[in-house]
Amino acid sequence: MIYLDHNATTPPSAGVVQAVLATMTDVWGNASSQHPHGQQAKGALGAARASVARVLGCKPSETIFTSGATEANHLAVLGLHAAARHAGRGRIVFSAVEHAGHLALAQALIAQRLPVDFIGVNADGTLDLDSAARAIGPDVAVVSLMAANNETGVLMPVDDVRALAQAAGARLHVDATQFVGKAPFDFARFGADAVSLSAHKLGGPKGIGALLLRQGIALQPQLHGSQERRRRGGTENLPAVAGFAAALEGLGDVAAKASRIAQLRDALEQGLQRALPHVHVFAAGAPRVAGTSYLRFGALPAEVVLQRLEQLGVCASSGAACSSGGSEPSHVLTAMGVPRDEALAAVRLSLGATTSARDIDYLLAALPPLLAPLLENDAAHAA
Ligand code: PMP
């Protein structure tokens, strides 16, 4: 099996599994309990938090553990918005290409008649800064922008948007779920007020993530309780936190890993384009995070390509959101102005730390012979 779906989730290393298992076995107390089991858990939680904070470049008190990025995103937008409301700021601004779950929150806010605006993107998937400048005005409470897009891999201009948010007096939340682990990250220098991330995108367990919240920024909790300095209630998921810390500690030299993965991604895209006609890479000209390749083979429907990949033992995904049999084109490609039939042909191959040059060589040798006859038919059909 060749796993090219690292943007969906990543395989945990043996060290991560061991950290989770050892914590579940040996440190099963509740960190709020006063007896020795509780104190042991409290100590382990503090140690894991210190480790997470060290790798991410934040203070331990700036980390709020959550059940993942979806919850961190909700906490950031709802919590920062609620805290800013008294100052007469009500508007919330999202980019049009946020993660589907985050855009569902935007839709829920619209249904509650809250003022919500969206920043558009250019044809290459980069953020439209004119649209950002129009959307971010003095009535804005929160701007929520992803650091790297999960479908295209396109890097978003966090510094430019921070300048706009700062000038307007708005808070900036960045969903860095597809960025942390794929590119060097340091919260102290990142410039956002709040940053979401998720352990399972960087080799950690599912169901654990964090919101990093800059010291002194007011946030209204969405889950009440004494944990996480009253910012997120609920007994801490200590085994998962330990696995998250182990995954972050295991990242090592992120820049070196990223350049290796970017080379493999480029070799993959160039190899496919050499071997087959009509291979189009979405957002090819834009700055992209290492490892993400989003392409279409002519207008071959994604499911046809995915079926051939499956035949070869390659795990990948489409850009379409499939729900009960029907498929809708990706909202990201739609926002980029990609026509429906081309968007429904989009296939995402996402490489990661476990991807080898042999995996790419195999794919480049095995996939073109399976797709070439289909592409000829496809071209004939189009003509
Ligand atoms: N944001 C982005 C950009 C993502 O890619 C994902 C995961 N697909 C999420 C948020 C949600 O993360 P989680 O699974 O931790 O809730």
Q: Which domains does the chain have, with CATH numbers?
A: 2-8+253-382 (3.90.1150.10), 58-233 (3.40.640.10)
Distance CA 80, CA 141 (A): 7
Each residue of 110-143: pLDDT tens digit?
999 999 999 999 999 999 999 999 999 999 999 9
Q: Using a CB cutoff of 8 Å and minimum separation of 24, what contacts does 301-304 make?
A: 301/344, 301/345, 302/344, 302/345, 302/346, 302/347, 303/327, 304/374
Asked whether the predicted pLDDT for residue 382 surpasses 80, the reply is: no
Q: Does the beta carbon of 175 lie inside 6 Å of ligand 1?
A: yes
Each residue of 194-245: pLDDT tens digit?
999 999 999 999 999 999 999 999 999 999 999 999 999 999 999 999 999 9
Each residue of 158-204: pLDDT tens digit?
999 999 999 999 999 999 999 999 999 999 999 899 999 999 999 99
Q: Does the beta carbon of 146 lie inside 6 Å of ligand 1?
A: yes
On the 0-12 / 13-18 / 19+ scale of CB atoms within 10 A, 183 is middle
Q: Does the beta carbon of 70 lie inside 6 Å of ligand 1?
A: yes
Distance CA 239, CA 232 (A): 17
The pLDDT of residue 380 is: 54
Of 45-49, 81-85, 110-114, 359-363, the one with minimum mean pLDDT is 81-85
Asked whether the predicted pLDDT for residue 313 surpasses 70, the reply is: yes
Contact of 233 with 66, CB cutoff 8 Å: no
Q: What value does the mean pLDDT take over residues 30-39?
A: 98
Count CB atoms within 10 A of the CB of residue 235: 12
Ligand 1: which residue has its CA nearest to atom 7?
Answer: 8
Predicted TM-score (pTM) of this structure:
0.97
The pLDDT of residue 85 is: 77
